[in-house]
Amino acid sequence: MATRIYNVFIVSKSGGLIYDYDHTSSSGTVHNLEVEKTFGYPLDIRLISENRKMIVEFGARDGIATGHVLISMNGISIEGMSEEQIKEFIQKEENFPLNLKFGRPRLSTNEKIVLASMFYPFFALAVQLSPELGSSGIKELETDTFKLYCNQTLTGVKFIIVAESKISGSSGIESLLDKIYELYADYALKNPFYSLEMPIRADLFDTNLALAIDQIERTGFI
């Protein structure tokens, strides 16, 4: 019955991301696994650098999969280190045995904005492709690991929920989408200091949204 919600996004009518909420970090689910392991010399997995991140290119083992990014070395975060420094460090034999921590890459705010604006034409495309008139656009998008639900209001705002895909029967996602719309109307739009189309930064909205999500996860309805 209980549904797991991963993310909530709100996209304005012009396609900009105006709100995103990551429920995986606050609820501490297993979704963002981090694995720490001690390695001997030479390193038996191959790392490449991409977008200023060290990514596992080949050689999955012990829960470290290709696509994971390096988070820390010997407990020290690699943030702020240059690629050269990291490469040099892992090539020197005297630095081994070495503790490396890997994890699933997190989306940066910029990446989220890019993805949100990519969804917009995709949604429009679905409407154009529709064999019949009056298509609503994408309402659900399903994969092995998650399901995306989208609700577009008459005014063009899109509310998007990313949730667990193994949902049986009525999961209450529909009512959660309605609820988020209500919260948006209340806590974003009725706030006199909020200007339309701009990112929503309102604590009241955050708290009420988190409450609604917790409730849906526990009970399956609002």
Return the residue of 65, 86, 210, 222 that touches other proteins, per CB under 8 A.
222
Residue 169 beta carbon to other proteins: minimum distance, rounded to whole angstroms: 15
As a whole number of angstroms, the distance between CA 162 and CA 165 comes to 9
Q: Where are the alpha helices (DSSP H) in the chain?
A: 23-27, 83-91, 109-129, 173-183, 203-219
Residue among 99 and 215 whose Cβ is closer to other proteins? 215
Residue 14 beta carbon to other proteins: minimum distance, rounded to whole angstroms: 8
Question: Cβ-count burial of 208 within 10 angstroms (0-12 exposed, 13-18 middle, 19+ buried)?
Answer: middle
* Contacting other proteins within 95-134 (CB under 8 A): 123-124, 126-128, 134
Question: Cβ-count burial of 79 within 10 angstroms (0-12 exposed, 13-18 middle, 19+ buried)?
Answer: exposed
136 binds other proteins (CB under 8 A): yes
Return the residue of 135, 165, 207, 219 that touches other proteins, per CB under 8 A.
135
Residue among 166 and 190 whose Cβ is closer to other proteins? 190
* Contacting other proteins within 170-189 (CB under 8 A): 175, 178-179, 181-182, 184-186, 189
As a whole number of angstroms, the distance between CA 80 and CA 188 comes to 36
C-beta atoms surrounding 98 within 10 Å: 16
Residue 11 beta carbon to other proteins: minimum distance, rounded to whole angstroms: 10
| Residue from 6, 92, 81, 75 nearest 37 by CA | 75
As a whole number of angstroms, the distance between CA 109 and CA 43 comes to 32
As a whole number of angstroms, the distance between CA 137 and CA 150 comes to 9
Return the residue of 106, 190, 201, 218 that touches other proteins, per CB under 8 A.
190
* Contacting other proteins within 4-43 (CB under 8 A): 13
What residues make contact with other proteins under the rule CB under 8 A?
Answer: 13, 123-124, 126-128, 134-137, 152-157, 175, 178-179, 181-182, 184-186, 189-190, 196, 221-222
